[in-house]
């Protein structure tokens, strides 16, 4: 794959430029020491089968949960546009 770069602060009236990200090598991707739970901003204290990650703004960490609890009775999932 060729290297592709984007320019910042240029006229984009013709539309966005194509940008790509190079993935790690196969060796790095298969490295078993790369674990999400070892990241400093991930709290896996209650890691259990089927858990999902939820952001906790009180300490700026992602926390593992097996339940989604709401105090308002409303759940809104806004996962962006694809």
Q: Which class for 23: exposed (0-12), middle (13-18), buried (19 or more C-beta within 10 A)? A: exposed
The secondary structure element, H or E, covering residue 64 is: strand 61-65
* Residue 80 vs residue 28, higher pLDDT: 80
Distance between CA atoms of residues 52 and 63, nearest Å: 8
Question: Higher confidence at residue 73 or residue 55?
Answer: 55
pLDDT tens, position by position, 17-63: 677 777 666 665 566 677 888 889 999 998 889 888 888 889 999 99
Given pLDDT bands bounded at 50, 70 and 90, which one contains residue 10?
A: low
Assign 36 to helix, strand or coil. helix
Yes or no: say if 4 and 19 are a contact pair by the CB < 8 Å rule.
Answer: yes
Tell me the C-alpha distance between 6 and 19, whole Å: 6
**Higher-confidence residue: 37 or 81?**
37
């Amino acid at each position: 794959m060729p290297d592709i770069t984007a320019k910042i602060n240029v006229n984009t009236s013709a539309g966005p430029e194509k940008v790509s990200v190079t993935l790690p090598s196969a060796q790095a991707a298969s490295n078993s020491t790369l674990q999400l739970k070892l990241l400093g901003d991930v709290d896996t204290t209650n890691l259990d089968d089927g858990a999902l990650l939820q952001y906790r703004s009180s300490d700026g960490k992602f926390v593992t949960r097996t339940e989604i609890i709401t105090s308002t009775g409303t759940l809104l999932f806004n996962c962006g546009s694809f």
